[in-house]
Amino acid sequence: MTQKPASTVLRDARRIVVKVGSSLVTNEGRGLDEVAIGEWCRQMSALAREGREVVMVSSGAIAEGMKRLGWATRPHEVHELQAAAAVGQMGLAQMYETKLREHGLGSAQVLLTHADLADRERYLNARSTLRTLLLHRVLPVINENDTVVNDEIKFGDNDTLGALVANLIEADALVILTDQKGLYTADPRKDPSAQFVHEAQAGDPVLEAMAGGAGSSLGKGGMITKILAAKRAAGSGASTVIAWGREPDALIRLARGEAIGTLLVAQTAKQQARKQWMADHLQLRGAVTVDAGAVAKLREEGKSLLPIGMTAVEGEFSRGDVIAVRDAQGQEIARGLANYASAEARLLCRRPSSEIEGLLGYLAEPEMVHRDNLVLSR
C-alpha cells in the first residue's frame, strides 16, 4: 500500500476523534478553562460546517470535581474519585453545551466504561448512538463513566478511551491534544539533545522506548499512553496526531493539511483494515442464504444485504457476529457483521425492511448486513 503524504492524512479525514487532557481542560487544575474550551468548540464547529464528523473525548471531570470540592491532590480511594467525577461532570457537560451552542452546534454527553465496549450488544448500541448523534449534527462529548467504574473495568486513561472510540466509530483520524508539542526522542526537560519527531509509523516499537512516564499529577496518562493509543487506533486504520492543545487553530490547520505536532501514520487504510479482519475471520457463527437478486445487488452494485433477499438462516449467532452470506448453491459470496441475531433473522427472511419493527418490536438497522460491514469473497 502506498503511504499517504503527511499533508493529506488529516486533510482527507471525514470523521475525527479529538481527545483533550485534564491539564488543558482545567488549566492545570485551577478549574475549567472557559477560554480554551471555547476555542476547541469553535474549531470543532468550523470542521462540522465543512461536513466533517467530530467526536470529542474530554478529560477533566475528576479535576473539576476536585476543585469544586476543595481537594488539592488527586485522591486514591475509588469512592472519592467517583464522587469527584460526579461533581465535576456537571460543570464539564454544561461548559461544552454552552460553548458549542454559541457556534450553532448541539452537544450530547456520553459516558462509557470498558464493559460497554467489551459487551457485544452494548458496543453496537454505543456505536449506533454515536452515529445517530453525528447524523443529526450533534457533537458527542465522551468521558469515562468515573462515577461507577472500579479498578477492574477502568480504561485507565482517556488516551486509551480516545483510541477505542476511534475504533468504535471507524474514525479516519485521532487527534490527541496535550500540554506537549508532540513526541521527542527523549524527555526534552532532561535531555537537551532530544529531537522532535515530526512523523513516524504508528505501532513502531522504537516509539515506546522514546516515551516517558506521566507528566502531570492531574491525569493518569503520559506520552507512553498516547503512543499506545496511536498503535491501537491504527488497528482500524486511523492515523493519530499528538499536538499542543494551545496551538492556535490547531484543529483547523491540521484539517487544511498543515503539519503540526507528531503524526503517527496508520499503515492500513480504514476500510481495508476492517474488511481484512472480516475476510480473515476463521470462526463464523452462522450463515444466511440469499436469492439471485440479492447476489446481484451485493456483487454488481455494492449494496447492503436487506432481509427481503434472505431465504434461509443457518447456525446460532448474535448481533455483531461475523456471518457468511451464501447463494442458493451454497457458495460463499460475502461475509459481514450481522445486525440481527439468528432467531430474529429467521423471522425477517423474505420480509421488507419496513416490517422489521412490527415483527421484532424494535428497529436496529434496516439492513441485515450494511455494505460498510460486508466484504465480498474472492
- CATH number reported for the structural domain that contains residue 216 in this entry: 3.40.1160.10
Eight-state DSSP code of residue 366? S
Whole domain around residue 307: which residue ranges? 281-376
Asked, for residue 275, whether it belongs to a domain, the answer is no
Strand partners, 128: none
Same domain, 285 and 198: no
Same domain, 220 and 110: yes
For residues 144 and 110, membership in a common domain is answered with: yes
The total of structural domains in the chain comes to: 2
One domain for residues 194 and 251: yes
Inside any domain, residue 1 = no
Within-domain flag for 194: yes
What is the pLDDT at residue 19?
A: 96
Tell me whether residue 44 is in a domain: yes
Q: Is residue 365 part of a domain?
A: yes
Instruction: Clarify whether residues 127 and 262 are in a common domain.
Output: yes
Note whether residue 352 is domain-resident: yes
Rounded alpha-carbon distances, angstroms, from residue 360 to 286, 336, 364, 368: 20, 21, 10, 13
Do 201 and 68 lie in one domain? The reply is yes
Instruction: Show which of 270, 301, 316 is a domain's final residue.
Output: 270
Classify 14 in phi/psi space as left (phi over 0), alpha (psi -120 to 50) or beta.
alpha
| One domain for residues 227 and 298 | no
Predicted pLDDT of residue 156:
57
Examine the domain organization and report whether 40 and 138 are in the same domain. yes
Sign of the C-alpha dihedral computed for residues 220, 238, 132 and 276 taken in this order: negative
Same-domain pairing of 188 and 41: yes
Domain-embedded: residue 276: no
Question: Do 196 and 150 share a structural domain?
Answer: yes
In a domain, 100, yes or no: yes
Last residue of a domain, one of 228, 251, 270: 270
The pLDDT assigned to 217 comes to 38
- Report the distance separating Cα 342 and Cα 275, nearest Å: 22
Note whether 368 and 336 are within 8 A (CB): no
* Side chain identity at residue 66, one-letter code: M
Check whether residue 293 and residue 266 sit in a common domain.
no
Query: What pLDDT shows up at residue 357?
Result: 97
Beta strands in 27-164 (DSSP E): 53-58, 106-112, 138-144
CATH of the domain at 361: 2.30.130.10
Q: Are 140 and 130 in contact (CB under 8 A)?
A: yes
> Pairing relation of β-strands 53-58 and 15-20?
parallel
Domain final position from 227, 242, 270: 270
Q: Encode the chain (378 residues) as per-residue pLDDT tens digits.
A: 344 555 577 889 999 999 998 889 988 777 899 999 999 999 999 999 999 999 999 988 888 898 899 998 888 888 898 898 899 999 999 999 999 999 999 999 999 987 787 777 788 889 889 999 999 999 999 988 766 766 544 665 789 899 989 988 989 999 999 988 999 988 777 888 889 999 999 988 888 877 754 444 334 457 888 999 999 899 888 999 999 999 999 999 999 999 999 999 998 776 666 666 666 666 788 999 999 999 999 999 999 999 999 999 999 999 988 899 999 999 999 999 999 999 999 999 999 999 999 999 999 999 999 998 898 986
Give whole-number Cα distances, 374 to 274, 339, 365, in Å.
9, 11, 14
Same domain, 307 and 260: no
Per-residue pLDDT at 250: 95
